Amino acid sequence: MQSSESPNSSPQVDTKSPRQSDTQLDATKKQSLKDVIFNKKMIVCLFTGFASGLPLYLTFQLIPGWLRQNGIDLSVIGLFAIVSFSYNWKFLWSPLMERFRPPFLGKRRGWMLITQLPLIIFTAVLIGLNPLTDIGLIAAVVGIISFFSASQDIVLDAYRRELLNDTEMGMGSSFFTNAYKFSSLVPGGLSLIIADLVSWEWALGTVVIFLFVGLMTTLIIDELKATQIQPLTMKEAVVEPFKEFFNRDGWQKALLVLLFLVLYKLGDNMATALETPFFFDLGFSGSEIGSVAKISKLWAAIFGTFLGGIILTKYGTNRALWIFGVFQIISILGYAVLAYFGNHLGLLFVAVSFEYLGVGLGTVGILAFMSELTSKQFTATQFALLSSLAAVPRTFATVSTGFIIQSVGYTWFFLICFACAIPGMLLLMKVAPWNPKTTEQ
């Protein structure tokens, strides 16, 4: 395709890997760790990370707990992940968000607003529903929330990729992931305590209030001046991002990368998929889960993701993925120990802390890896494709885990999760070797 200086021209495909280009840029434009951390861009990453994580944890933590406490069967709760399919298929409509610009707030901020208002409205709708009589309607509403949450992720991921330079990407991913995990304290902690002390209606209402954080962030941040190349046609918006990705290093390498994204966090996602019902089934109260489990999750996630950012900056993405992967596999065994010994608050704190230290490290690693794989020429669609694949294990885990737990029990289930984490580690030898060979371009 012909290149042009016009912002509305068709994008010229760069055959260099974005990861190679990033390395070349970093060699000529280094920032100190202090300059990277104390940067107002990191504040934007914090607030957009919180906005991104909150609706997901609503559907994967609070709603399963709400349903379980109202007597809904585990297998039914697990099937709720089917209505959250949007996270796996968001790349299908991401070209629309790349091709069309809303008539207000700019391309990225306009789409943020369009996705955030329905999240607030439909979460508020849940307050008036009863799991015992409205389970079908609840499933439909959760499906709608998941669609707009996945759509919000498309634009937030694109905005972050365009906001950060390559030196800032590792730490920016760390800040984003920290806030993403921190948001779980609302539906997975504060709301459970409120449900225990007041009612589930107030618990859901609390999430509605915190959803306004994302909306306010959208109204405050600036639309980026370095405007993205605007595709002239839907064909350009759909075809070119996939063509560039699969032609970059060959389709075989591209398929291996996509398979790696599915498998790297499979065991980890399985272990945490139904953790709130797991804690309830061990006999912990909502207040205990909302305080002990979530406090341990908070410190571990914050420390893990911040440590992950430092390791990424110091050792690079490839070696970081190996370090993080080993830790997140071993951390799964903490839940197996908790399942074996049962109700014990001290063990709950240790097991959750250990698990979410691994979750934090693995998440920031895979996020940085996806960011490096994404060409800035096709930010929204390529990042949506990669993150859709990375979300597959979360959906698969939630659908299947209820049936597996009922068949083998919790202890054996977590051992199965450990085994499912091994194939992703083996793929690292192909997609992110410890000592990568340098390729000439």
Assigned domain for 20 exists: no
**Mean pLDDT over residues 101-128, rounded?**
91
Residue of 200 and 378 predicted with greater confidence: 200
pLDDT digits (tens, 9 = 90+) for 238-248: 777 777 778 77
Would residue 18 count as lying in a domain?
no
- State the pLDDT confidence band at 122, using cuts at 50, 70 and 90: very high
**72: how many CB neighbours lie within 10 A of its CB?**
18
Tokens of 97: 């968000």
Q: Residue 20: pLDDT above 60? A: no
Please report whether residue 415 resides in a domain.
Answer: yes
Using one digit for the tens of pLDDT, what is the confidence trace for 174-199? 788 778 878 888 888 888 889 888 88
Per the domain annotation, does 441 fall within a domain?
no
User: What is the pLDDT confidence band of residue 126, given thresholds at 50, 70 and 90?
Assistant: very high
Q: How many CB atoms lie within 10 A of CB 82?
A: 12
In a domain, 11, yes or no: no
Which tens digit of pLDDT belongs to each residue from 356-410? Answer: 888 778 877 888 888 777 776 777 777 777 777 777 666 666 667 777 888 888 8
pLDDT for residue 166? 67
Give the domain CATH number at 294: 1.20.1250.20
Report yes or no on 1 lying in a domain.
no
Least-confidence region, from 23-27, 30-34, 56-60, 350-354: 23-27
**pLDDT class of 264 with cuts at 50, 70, 90:** confident
Q: Is the pLDDT of residue 10 over 50?
A: no
Query: 28 or 147: whose pLDDT is higher?
Result: 147
> Does residue 260 fall inside a structural domain?
yes
Weakest mean pLDDT among 151-155, 216-220, 385-389: 385-389
Does a structural domain hold residue 438? no
**Domain of 151, in residue numbers:** 32-431
What would the mean pLDDT of 3-13 be, rounded to a whole number?
Answer: 41
- The Cα 427–Cα 422 span in angstroms is 9
CA distance from start to end of the chain = 21
Calpha distance 377→161 (Å, rounded): 11
pLDDT bucket at 125, cuts 50 / 70 / 90: very high
If one counts the domains in the chain, the total is: 1
